[in-house]
Structure 1
């Protein structure tokens, strides 16, 4: 763990002790709004994670004969058949070996891939992040589909799946940029909202504090006031390039809602995701490719994905799984090309978490599943193959990357995976 992370955790513990001595329980503290403000905002800024983003990318039904056979590269990053399209971006990636899907493989209950049924949590990781780091964003967490047709969403609270996936790229774009949200300057507005949460929470708990604790809290208010003036001064600048008047689909790709346009639909949704992140509309995106039943086709391949999986022809199944890796590679390339308003490229501040619900889709197994991370900048030990116990540890790793592990319920008893984050 880095020195900055250790410092942030120490400060959080010190603040909780301070609040405890004042007679305030953690539930009262969280109910006051400080869970989204004081405990998250200041620690996130201290740990330099306040502008990190995450994309959860669901690819259904595993890979032929499980990851070690057709997907996971060797330690020197020699790629397998189904990961071969990642060749030019593999140094941005962390390939995970021996990943066990908690709850096993098989059709149905796809919500488990984002942790809906983990003990002690209130929902999938994207929703949990939406309630914490997303609480000060215009869109808490964004869900984009590619030929899901509104079926089998992976985001859920237990068995209660969400219903806000947007399969149509143009509809998604219009909801994001069609006038309901003022996109200029979004970053300053998000910061101001965080300050408003802090102020409201502080006022609510003042009456519960003694003189010493009240003085300590007023010192914090002074720091907030200074930050407010800094933000006000910075907010006179222009919005990030392309955010004040964004255009949908300048390349004129087909957005027709049919399987044969899968490649174009994925490209358009990728642009929506990148633009929403870049313009600070959200910090959390979930992209779902199809459904767990794999009853859909893709551009340029015969039949449908389900038929390929159970055809008895490994090359046929592999052709589909390789195609999905081509889409993932496209997203990584676009993140590596796109300028980050804060400096560098979007890949430097965005972690892509590739998830699935099976190891081998034909056998419906859950051991040795093809999971992969990409991006995340210098915080991530990229260009490696790393062993991981189970997929819940990867969800905790994403929470740690976003600066809120320990503020939201942990998904794995063992905590985040080792050797992934610096």
Structure 2
């Protein structure tokens, strides 16, 4: 990201604010009370952690469309329970069980779209709207300190082989490309644009001051009606800035970690180190308040880069298909789950940027899922979906032992096969994204409404 681009972003947003103010409209669609509510206390952060080729929701001997009794979904005695047993893959996240809510009964798309699930995993079933990470990042309720990074998109190994199967979309046909090199990701977040922001803070200046200087420079070149029009806009911008000064809290100190080491990102030999570097940069960006929304896409669907920690004989896609053996099948799925656990470790290391004495993990919601449920039959029924983290106390994850919640009773979709555990009725996955949006104070963007029983402030 360049300094010039960052300033253009500031200018665009200031123009929106100024136009709204000059027309007597509330800033960014928010009234004073909402701005005041956002100004103090905790600020929720949301991270979507998307792994490829499913998390083995079916058993090794499951039928042609799966049995729902595999390595991911916990076993519980009831549909809503805090007394449950984690399976081989989900057990990798045992350390964060107390902060976890495991959901069952979800269906993605039509339930049998194979690897095409990456098109819709984070958005509406018709693939017409932006993905949930983009929608959250664009709303002022979830804006970080740098408008250039409304929604950070990290893709450690997504598309390194030329297959751009990315899960984040800014529109119907507008796919986003993630940053795949952690060195470049670090420079983008903590490089020129972020240095300008931090320098402005250290001088006690307003974050929009550089953009305002550009507008004043432009004013000197205008005359007549154009100059008068710009003067009106300038007055509005300065009033907005004055109003915001009393509503926005002073940001805390930002401790920028050491830049990642340079490694070949398409090399299996360095895969684990590159992945870990991405996780550190994303956590650091959240801890600095630069952004409050991020997506980490570990790899594309049907990925081919070997996980040498597990096997060098077969790629993870083949392992998901059970071509290599049961140890490789479970081992690759465990590796993905372990990466989510290690990302949680990163969140637990950093202080929260907004609440003194709290850790970043206390005010972050991490959503773990995939573009399919199981990689062997390649289906999308009974999808793996885990919500975890402190989430500012909003997540209904039990009272210290975690929670497993079957939401199939709220189903709105039928599937011709289903599985023996859930049956043939499922909840459409975009309803979860509606529910996350509502928890963030944002109007649900997709058809179908919300799911109740997940967040304290929804339903």
TM bin (shorter chain):
0.7 to 0.9
Give me the whole-angstrom Cα distance separating, in 1, the residues matched to 2:262 and 2:339: 15
In 1, are the aligned partners of 2:169 and 2:176 still within 8 Å (CA)? no
Displacement, 1:107?
0.9
For 1:6-405, list aligned pairs within 5 A. Answer: 37-39=28-30, 42-43=33-34, 45-46=36-37, 51-66=43-58, 68-73=69-74, 74=76, 75=81, 76-105=83-112, 106-118=114-126, 122-132=129-139, 133-134=142-143, 137-148=147-158, 149=160, 151-157=164-170, 159-181=172-194, 182-184=196-198, 225=242, 227-229=244-246, 231=248, 235=250, 239-243=252-256, 246-249=257-260, 256-302=265-311, 303-312=314-323, 313-342=325-354, 343=356, 344-375=358-389, 376-382=391-397, 383-388=402-407, 389-404=427-442
Displacement, 1:247?
2.2
User: When the two structures are aligned, how many residues end up with a matched partner?
Assistant: 360
In 2, are the aligned partners of 1:117 and 1:158 still within 8 Å (CA)? no
Structure 2 unaligned regions, length at least 5: 1-18, 59-67, 213-237, 408-426
User: Whose radius of gyration is greater, 1 or 2?
Assistant: 2
Give me the whole-angstrom Cα distance separating, in 2, the residues matched to 1:294 and 1:339: 35
Q: Tell me the equivalent position of 2:6.
A: none
In 2, are the aligned partners of 1:58 and 1:356 still within 8 Å (CA)? yes
In 2, are the aligned partners of 1:259 and 1:299 still within 8 Å (CA)? yes
Q: Tell me the equivalent position of 2:410.
A: none
The change in CA–CA distance for 1:417 and 1:332 in structure 2 (over 3 A counts) is: farther
In 2, are the aligned partners of 1:68 and 1:97 still within 8 Å (CA)? no
Displacement, 1:349?
1.3
TM-score by length of 1: 0.74
Displacement, 1:102?
3.1
Structure 1 unaligned regions, length at least 5: 1-27, 198-220
Structure with the bigger percentage of helix: 1
* SS of equivalent to 1:96: strand
* SS of equivalent to 1:394: helix
Give me the whole-angstrom Cα distance separating, in 2, the residues matched to 1:403 and 1:191: 26
The change in CA–CA distance for 1:186 and 1:82 in structure 2 (over 3 A counts) is: farther
* SS of equivalent to 2:185: helix
Displacement, 1:286?
0.8
TM-score by length of 2: 0.69
The change in CA–CA distance for 1:157 and 1:317 in structure 2 (over 3 A counts) is: same
In 1, are the aligned partners of 2:108 and 2:125 still within 8 Å (CA)? no
The change in CA–CA distance for 1:191 and 1:153 in structure 2 (over 3 A counts) is: farther
* SS of equivalent to 1:354: strand
In 1, are the aligned partners of 2:54 and 2:320 still within 8 Å (CA)? no
Give me the whole-angstrom Cα distance separating, in 2, the residues matched to 1:68 and 1:112: 25
